[in-house]
Amino acid sequence: MTSFPNPTSLEESRQNALGSGASRTSSQVGKLYADLFSKPLPADLLGEAAGKPDSPKPVAAVTAPRSPTTLAECGLQLGQIADLVLKQLYLHGTLLGGDIARATRLPFSIVDEALRALRDQKCIEVASGDLVGRVSYRFALTELGRARARESFEHCRYVGPAPVPIEQYIEQCKLQHVTGAACTMQMLLSTFQDSVVRPQLLDELGPAVCSGTSIFIHGPSGNGKTLVAKGLGRFLNQQGGESYVPYAIQAESSIITVFDPGIHHTTDDVGSGPRTSATADSPSYVVPDGYFDVRWRRIRRPVVITGGELTLEMLELQYNAGGNFYTAPMHIKSNGGVFLIDDFGRQLVRPKDLLNRWIVPLEERVDYLTLSTGRKFMLPFEQLIIFSTNLDPRELVDDAFLRRIRHKVKIESPDRAMITEIFRLVCEQKQLEFNPAMVEILFSKY
């Protein structure tokens, strides 16, 4: 009968394995980085001080979008802002000037231009006010204003924060791409501390994460591919810094909603720091020059996971026929983060059709989407995309597609020693006593 090490020696083996992975950083991982970028990796990125473990490199903060100070900087037409104001007043009856600015997420100085224009057109009137200024005036619709508000609803039922011009969205995506994200062996080990992963695998994943392009993870079923893929997503979400996503963008003359509370975990809520100079209860809403544009939300890098339910329609704009506006597809919502396609090859759509859909985005880092009018426009495709499958890659993809995926990582099935260590770790997590005899029974029976 095969003998197994006692618990103490197994724990020592585990620590030695982790230690050996860290000590190889300067030689093996450094070589991988050099091959990837054609230049040596800076020592401070890997924390290669003699005798010291890897030290995480501080993540450079992404530049926040600045609040517009003029209508031109806002990027919208006066009529577009006026329509948003009319719809807000139609829904709420009367609103303070500051409340309208809060609803549209624009400085009052810009909203006031729309209010003055609407008053000159006899669409709104001042219901009440005080000496504080127009920001404290209470505005209401006239009969003409109500008629025009109904026309605005027929054209588009979107009511919410003012959209961001597509040009500003593209520029911000360029600032917060995932390429070159700080990644060290120690950072990866901390991410996978609740899992058993071979250090050699982390040697492959590190350069793949830093490349910020695409990763193809394959191997037999049940060997931890999904666990590794989700771990990479968790790594960028927790240690990749923050990014910014707009509530909505304006493309051509259409509005596309982007911010999704189910995907985007915000870090600018109350208690995490001021977003503007005014408090939430303040009647004044003046955003000083240089402040953060509150049409955007500050978030952790998003992670979007899809599996067998993925269809080609889910990768296109979702048109709301009743509201006459669009919702961005899931891969656009993952810009600046991770898009994981799990169980690749088992989708409802044929793998060949799905692969053809990804060729241009993988090659050009952009995607072309189509409005209901037939007009096409370009949006950035800036995320780490991960394909995970237990099928033979040669049966799924051709050479042309594989050339566009920079990193192919094969995950082998765990050996006997690794399964033993997994058994120990699960017992540890469940607060159960580890007994090597139970592992022997497992191997003998199954």
Residue 46 has pLDDT above 60, yes or no: no
**pLDDT tens track for 333-356:** 999 999 998 888 888 888 778 878
Beta bridge partners of 255: 250
**Pairwise pLDDT comparison (156 vs 60), residue with the higher score:** 156
Question: Reduced to 3 DSSP states, what percent helix, strand and coil does the chain have, rounded to the nearest 5?
Answer: 45, 15, 40
Average pLDDT over residues 280-288: 41
Average pLDDT, the chain: 80
**Pairwise pLDDT comparison (103 vs 24), residue with the higher score:** 103
Tokens of 115: 């209010």
Q: Distance (Å, rounded) from C-alpha 197 to C-alpha 443? A: 20
Q: What is the pLDDT of residue 25?
A: 42
Mode of pairing for the β-strands spanning 384-389 and 214-218: parallel
**Exposed, middle or buried, 222 (CB in 10 Å: 0-12/13-18/19+)?**
exposed
Q: Distance (Å, rounded) from C-alpha 111 to C-alpha 85? A: 8
Find out whether 421 and 196 touch, Cβ atoms under 8 Å. yes
Q: Which of 17-26, 260-269, 400-409 has the lowest mean pLDDT?
A: 17-26
Average pLDDT over residues 268-278: 49
Mode of pairing for the β-strands spanning 164-165 and 248-251: parallel
Q: What is the pLDDT of residue 241?
A: 85
Q: Distance (Å, rounded) from C-alpha 368 to C-alpha 48? A: 43
Q: Which residues contact 6 (CB under 8 A, 6 or more apart)?
A: 436
* Rg of the chain in Å (alpha carbons): 27
Reported as half-sphere exposure (CB side, CA atoms, 13 A), residue 301 has a value of: 28
pLDDT band at 40 (very low <50, low <70, confident <90, very high): low
Q: What is the pLDDT of residue 294?
A: 92
29 DSSP assignment:
I
pLDDT band at 253 (very low <50, low <70, confident <90, very high): confident
Beta bridge partners of 256: 249, 326
Mode of pairing for the β-strands spanning 303-306 and 242-246: unpaired
Find out whether 101 and 68 touch, Cβ atoms under 8 Å. no
Q: What is the pLDDT of residue 222?
A: 81
Residue 318 has pLDDT above 90, yes or no: yes
Average pLDDT over residues 404-422: 85
Q: Which of 173-187, 222-236, 284-298 has the lowest mean pLDDT?
A: 284-298
Residue 200 has pLDDT above 70, yes or no: yes
Q: Which of 55-69, 211-225, 413-427 has the lowest mean pLDDT?
A: 55-69
**pLDDT tens track for 70-128:** 999 999 999 999 999 999 999 998 999 989 999 999 999 999 999 999 999 999 998 88
Average pLDDT over residues 256-273: 82
Residue 55 has pLDDT above 60, yes or no: no
Q: Distance (Å, rounded) from C-alpha 398 to C-alpha 113? A: 57
Share of the chain above pLDDT 70, in %: 81
Residue 249 has pLDDT above 90, yes or no: yes
Average pLDDT over residues 226-253: 89
Highest mean pLDDT among 208-217, 350-359, 425-434: 425-434
Average pLDDT over residues 324-335: 94
Residue 30 has pLDDT above 80, yes or no: no
pLDDT band at 1 (very low <50, low <70, confident <90, very high): very low
Residue 164's H or E segment, with its range, is: strand 164-165
Residue type, 11: E
Residue 276 has pLDDT above 70, yes or no: no
pLDDT band at 132 (very low <50, low <70, confident <90, very high): low
